Structure 1
Amino acid sequence: MVVPRRSPAAVGAAVFALALAVTGCGTTAVDASAPEPSAPASGSCADDTTETSTGPVSLVDGVGRTVELDQPAERIAVLEWQEVEDALTLCVTPVAVADPAGYSTWVSAEKLPDGVADVGTREEPDATALFAADPDLVIIEGFSAGDEAIAQFEKQGVPVLVARGNDPEDPLGNMKDVFSLVAEATGRTERAEQVLAEFDAHLAERKAEVADLDLPTTDFLFFDGWLQGGNLSLRPYTEGALFTELGKELGLTPAWSTEVNDSHGTGGLNAEYGLAQTDVEGLTAVGDANLFFSNGDTTGYVDALDESELWTSLPAVEEGRAYEFPLVWGAGGPRSTQQAVDAFADALTGD
C-alpha cells in the first residue's frame, strides 16, 4: 500500500508478535547504554516558552483506561508515527520509536533526531530493544482496552498509554485528542493548547481563502494508489478519513459516497479509517469532482494513470482540477494536518 497506514488487523498482528516477544524474553534487563533524550528537533521549539508540569499525572487514554504516573513521562517509547510526530511538536524527543527510517521517509512535518533507538517495525516491534531504551512510558495505538500487548507491557512494570488510531465519526477531533493526550502524559499541555490554537487559526484563514473562490464545483475526492504486479489500484478516502474531513472543513463536498462505493468499489471498505479501494474506471463515478491525490513519486502509480484514457478524459483532468499533493503524512498530528490543509488550499487557490 502506498501509505503504510495500519489497519485494525495489522494492529492485532503487532499485538500478537509483541506479546510473543515480551513473553519470550521474560524480565528485560536495562542496557546501561540506554539512549538519553536529545534536544527537541521541531524548529518551533527553539522559541518555545511554555511550561512543563511536574506533578503526578492521572489521565484516561483513548480506550478508556486510567493511566497513573508519579510525574510526567520523560523517556517515552512510541510505536506509531502520529504520536512520534506529536511528541516532537511538543518538544519531547522519544528515546525509542518503531521504524524510524519509515517515519523519516513518510513524515515531513517534524524531523526525528539522530540517536533515537530503533525498536523494529510498527507491526512487529522488538520488545528487547524497546525495554533496553529504559522508557518510563510506552505509547501505542489501539481500539480496545483488551489488547494483549497492554498487559504484556505492564508485566515489565512500564505504564502503557493507548491512543486511538482514528475515530471515523470525528477524525479531526481525534487527531487533536491524541495530541492532547500525549501532551498530558508528558506535562506539555500548555504547549499543546498553543499549537492547537495556531492550527485552528490557520485552518480558519485557509477556509476563508477557499470560500472566496468561484469553484466550478465543490465536489472532491482525495485518493492515493499503488502498482502491484502491473495492476493499478486506487484508494479513495471516504467519510471517516482525516483528509476527507479536512476537505469538508474547507467547504468541499465528498464525492465518494456509500452508494458510489457499492457500485464502483473493488476491495471493500475499511470503515475504521475511511478507506475504500477501486480502479481507474471507478473514478468515473465521481463525475466532475475536483481530484486530489498523493504519493505518485513513491510508487509510480500516477505514471500509470497518465497512460489511461479513462483518467485523461475525466473532467477534472481535462480542466486542470486534478492536483497532486506534496509529501504529507495522512495520519499525523497538528503539523502534518496543517500541511494537508495547505496542500488543499494551495491547489485550489493556485499558490
Structure 2
Amino acid sequence: MLKGYCFGRALRALALMLICLNVWADTAVSQNAEKLQFNETPQRIVALNWWLAEHLLALDVTPVGMADSEGYREWVAEPAAPESVKSVGRRQAPNLEAIRALEPDLILVTGHLKAAVPALQAIAPTLVQTTYDTGSNPWERAREHLLALGKILNREDKARAVIAQADKDLSETRRQLSEAGLANQPAFIVRFLDDRRVRIHGENSMLNQALEQAGLNNVWHRPTNVWGFTPGTLADLGGHSNAWLIYIEPWPDADRQRLQASGLWPYVPMAKTGRITGVGPVWTFGGVISVPRMAQMLAEKLMKGTQELQP
C-alpha cells in the first residue's frame, strides 16, 4: 500500500514537473518580449541593470529590487529610486538568494549577463533586453525596449508618452542651443576614471546620442568598443583647440586635484581655453530618460558659459 501510494505521488510530481517545464519553455526567458505571456500583469519586478530600472521608474513602476540600488542613486539619480527598492547584489554579479527572497514575477536583465539567465529563469520569468550590441543604435534600441516593456506591464500608452516627451525635450534643447549660437559646437565627451585615464565616448554610445541630438558635434571618430567608448588618456584629447571638454559627473575631488596638478594638464587645449564643463550625475549607459536629461543639463551649462578647471 505504501509503495503504491509513493509511486502515485511520484507520478503526479513528474507530471507536474513536465507541465511546468512546458510553461517555462515558452515564458521563462526571451529576447523578444512578445513571447512572454502572463495571466496577470507582473507586479514584483527585479531589474539587474540601471537602465532597465530607469525604464521601470519612467513607467511609474517601482521595482521591488535592483542591482546596486545605492549606486543607482549616486550615478543615475533620475528617475529617483525610492528607499523601498532593495539591492540584490552587483550589476556584474547579482545575488540569486536576494532575488529569490523578493519573490519576483518578472526579472529584467541584459544579454551581457546571459551566463546567469538559466539560474534567473529558475526563479521567475526573465526578459532579456540589450541596447549595446555590434552594429546597433543604442538610442533606437532603448526606445524599442521601453515600448516592449510597456506592453508587458500594460503601460504601453505611458511608454509612448515617455518617448514623445523625450523627443520634445530634445527638440527644445536643440532650439535653445541654436538660438544661443551654440549649434554644431565641437566637443569631446568623457568620463574620467582617475587622474590619468578617461573613457572617450564615440558614435555608438548613448552619450553621443545626447550630444548630437542637442545639435553639437562629437569630434571623437576613432574606433570604439561595443559600449561606445575608447579607453584613453589626456594625450588623446589634443588636436581640437576650439572643442569643449565635457565630462560626466560624479568625478571625485581627489582625482580632479591630482589631474590639475599634473604636468600634462596645462598642455590640454581645453585647459588653455577654459572650454571645460561637467554635467551630471547622469548614467553613461542610460535609457530613454537619460539622453534628453543629459542633453538639457549640457545645454544649461553651455548657455551659462560655465567654465571649470581653469588653467
Q: How much identity, in percent, do the aligned residues show?
A: 25
Determine the C-alpha separation between the residues in 2 that align with 1:105 and 1:301.
17
1:74 equivalent to 2:43? Answer yes
**Whole-angstrom distance in 1 between the partners of 2:33 and 2:241:** 42
Please say if 1:163 is aligned against 2:129: yes
Match of 1:174 in 2: 141
Q: Gaps spanning 5+ residues in structure 2: where? A: 1-26, 306-311
Give 2:230's aligned residue: 276
Matched, 1:207 2:174: yes
Work out whether residues 34 and 148 of structure 2, in 8 Å CA contact, stay in contact via their aligned partners in 1. Answer: no
In structure 2, distance between residues paired with 1:137 and 1:114: 20
Correspondence for 1:300 among 230, 254, 268: 254
2:177–2:183 Cα contact (<8 Å) kept:
no
Report which of the two has the higher share of helix: 2
Deviation at 1:81, TM superposition (A): 0.9
SS at match of 2:252: helix
Is the alpha carbon distance of 1:180 and 1:61 closer, same or farther for their aligned partners in structure 2, counting shifts above 3 Å? Answer: farther
Partner of 1:247: 211
Residues 139 and 288 in structure 2, CA contact (< 8 A), matched pair in contact too: no
2:221 alignment partner AA? S
1:63–1:143 Cα contact (<8 Å) kept: no
Runs (4+) of structure 1 moved beyond 4 Å?
60-65
**Letter of the structure 2 residue corresponding to residue 311 of structure 1:** W
| Residues 48-87 of structure 1: pairs in structure 2 closer than 5 A | 62=31, 66-87=35-56
The code of the aligned residue for 2:186 comes to: D
RMSD: 2.7
Count, aligned residues: 278
Aligned positions of 1:285-296 closer than 5 A: 285-295=239-249
Structure 1 residue 128 corresponds to structure 2 residue 97: yes
Counterparts of 1:102 and 1:211 in 2: how far apart (Å)? Answer: 35
What's the counterpart of residue 150 of structure 2? 183
| 1:214 Cα deviation after fit | 3.1
TM-score normalised by structure 1 residue count: 0.71
Give the equivalent residue in structure 2 for 1:113: 82
Once the two structures are superposed, what CA deviation does each residue of 1:208-257 show, in whole Å capped at 9, x if it has no partner?
A: 12223334962211001122xxx611111111011112211122222111
Deviations 1:136-175 (CA, angstroms, capped at 9, x unpaired): 111101159xx3432333334x211011142563122122
Structure 1's 214 and 113: CA in aligned 2 closer, same or farther, altered over 3 A?
A: closer
| Structure 1 residue ranges without an equivalent (≥5) | 1-57, 262-268
Q: Does 2:297 correspond to 1:343?
A: yes
Please say if residues 250 and 281 of structure 2, whose CA atoms lie closer than 8 Å, have aligned partners that are also in contact: no
Higher relative contact order (CA 8 A, sep 6+): 1
